[in-house]
A = this chain, B = another copy of it.
Amino acid sequence: MEFQDKAQSEDASVGFQMLSNIRIVMVNTTHPGNIGAAARAMKTMGLSELVLVEPKRPIDDEAIARSSGATDVLESAQIVPSLEEAIEDCGLVIGTSARSRSIPWPLLNPRQCAEQSVLTSKRQKVAIIFGREDRGLTNEELAKCNFHVHIPTNPDYSSLNIGAAIQVICYEMRMAIELQVSGDEQLWGVEWDRELASSKELDGLIDHLEQVMVTSEFLDPENPRYIMTRMRRLFNRAMPDKVEVNVFRGILSSITKKLGR
């Protein structure tokens, strides 16, 4: 599925630039395909800086295939001989962790990780470190981090591959910025093409509906119970626009005309 963003605006707008300060670090990766998947996951969310610490195999055709066009991220990826070098310029370092360690560390969920990262990225580099496919990061590597982040999973089946983990972490980075840029959650919800019906127009619709309900002998005006309240609640929470109200009133008028004959 190729998702296209609804807003086709330049991603260089205020806010999203911060993503260029967030670096993904992969340590001792075994399968180049996973490096490609990481590049794709990063780029879909607007991240671009990938650093590889001693990958076991170099970037190859499989990596390029899995990157699905995010080859610019692969091409600009730095390969460094040590984790220290990968993170030395970063103001915030967060390591992904699956297990409880001998010494507990401040643990963030992916959302908290993103919020802290986005805040720090306004002025400084941030690194999120992902470990080996089979056994993650060592205690020594985790001890170099400010925080650890843990992606919640099903305890009976926690087979989250590294590409999926990077996708989730990068998605949260983008969400944190989207919500920050929009100020609140106005960006989401109903962004309507028509003006919403006024309260008066809605009242007119409900009155009209009530007449038809009485004329058709569905509603006994002597014993209305809560039926009109239910109808009002239904239309109110649908927040109809002016066109929808007009269509509905058109239907009711046609019915009234037919019934009158």
Q: Which residues of B contact A231 (CB under 8 A)?
A: 244, 247
Q: Give A234 to B251 CA distance when docked, in angstroms.
A: 14
Tell yes or no: A103 within 8 A of B by CB: yes
Docked Cα-Cα span, A130 to B112, in Å, equals: 28
Q: How many copies does the complex hold?
A: 2
Please give the residue numbers on chain A whose beta carbons come within 8 Å of chain B beta carbons, in ascending order: 1-11, 40-41, 43-46, 68-70, 96, 98-100, 103-104, 106-112, 130-134, 136, 150-165, 167-168, 171, 174-175, 178, 185, 187-193, 209, 212-213, 215-219, 227, 230-231, 234-235, 237-240, 243-244, 247, 250-251, 253-255, 257-259
Within 8 Å CB of A44, what residues of B?
Answer: 153-154, 157-160, 164
Is there contact, CB below 8 Å, between A216 and B258?
Answer: yes
Judging by beta carbons under 8 Å apart, are B40 and A104 in contact?
no
CB-based contact B254/A244 at 8 Å? no
Contact A2 B160 (CB under 8 A): yes
Contact indicator A190/B104 (Cβ below 8 Å): yes
- Please give the distance in Å from A74's CB to the nearest CB on chain B: 13
Given the interface pairs A1-B132, A43-B157, the reply to whether A175 lies near B111 with Cβ below 8 Å is: yes
Chain B residues in 8 Å Cβ range of A4: 98-99, 153, 155, 158
Instruction: Decide if B154 touches A216 in the complex (CB within 8 Å).
Output: no
The smallest C-beta distance from A165 to any residue of chain B, in angstroms, reads 6
A240 touches B251 (CB 8 A): no
Given contacts A2-B133, A2-B158, A152-B178, 12 further A-B contacts (CB under 8 A): A3-B151, A3-B153, A6-B100, A41-B164, A44-B157, A68-B159, A104-B190, A109-B178, A154-B174, A219-B251, A230-B244, A238-B238
Give every chain B residue within 8 A of A6 (Cβ-Cβ).
98-100, 107, 150
> A1 near B160 (CB under 8 angstroms)?
yes
